[in-house]
Amino acid sequence: MAQFARPSSTVDAGGWTYLVASLHEDTNEVIPNGDTDYAEAETTDTIMKLALSSVADPTVGTGHTLRFTAEALNGGGGGEKLDVYLYEGTSLIVKAFSKQGINRDAYQLYEYTLSEVEANSINNYTDLRAWFEVDNLNGAELIRITQIEFEVPDVAGNQWQRLVADDVGITDGLTNIK
């Protein structure tokens, strides 16, 4: 089982624009939805800062993965690049991607799994932020991000199991397994 922190508010748009609702709402999908909604950057050195929804401290330092789905458009010359950071409040946890080349003309999933040391440096899972900084764009080039999430393990001792039992019919319930 896992918990997912997804964008919950826009801390700083930093020059990024959105298609439908807001930067955080256009990137908080469970399943990437491509051109339906997205955050978009048109210029270099713009930094989008998003607060992530709260998750419970999993009490383990493994299984922490930051992922996003993005594409570059109108590419020419050098590749379009992003730097991606995970923060706890204003404290840097990790620069997950440095000058990450973004696939042109098709959305692609990018994933970074934190080391145990990086994950164990997180003290407050209710104050996580993801920053996306455009490193290289020229002319009419664009970068679009359609989904952002940070996956962490479920809290130990809080695994849920679905039970189906009843001699009259089917009932549905949840039981906490410790």
The confidence score (pLDDT) of residue 140 equals 86
Residue 100, pLDDT score: 95
Residue ranges making up the domain that contains 114: 2-177
Residue 161 pLDDT grade (very low, low, confident, very high; cuts 50, 70, 90): very low
pTM summary value? 0.85
pLDDT, average across residues 11-29: 95
Residue owning tokens 């089982």: 1
Residue type, 100: Q
- The CB-based long-range contact list for 58-62 (8 Å cut-off, 24+ gap) reads 58/3, 58/152, 58/153, 58/154, 58/155, 58/156, 59/155, 59/156, 60/119, 60/153, 60/156, 61/116, 61/117, 61/119, 61/120, 62/116, 62/119, 62/153
pLDDT tens-digit profile of 108-121? Answer: 999 999 999 999 99
Q: How far is CA 156 from CA 3, 34, 56, 57, 116, in A?
A: 12, 34, 10, 10, 17
**Whole-number Å distance between alpha carbons of 172 and 178:** 20
User: What total of structural domains would you count in the chain?
Assistant: 1
What does the alpha-carbon distance between residue 108 and residue 155 come to, in Å, rounded to a whole number?
A: 30
Question: What pLDDT sits at residue 78?
Answer: 78
pLDDT above 90 for 128: yes
162, pLDDT greater than 80: no
Q: What percent of the chain has pLDDT over 70?
A: 88
Write down the pLDDT at residue 83. 96
Q: What is the CATH number of the domain that holds 62?
A: 2.60.120.260
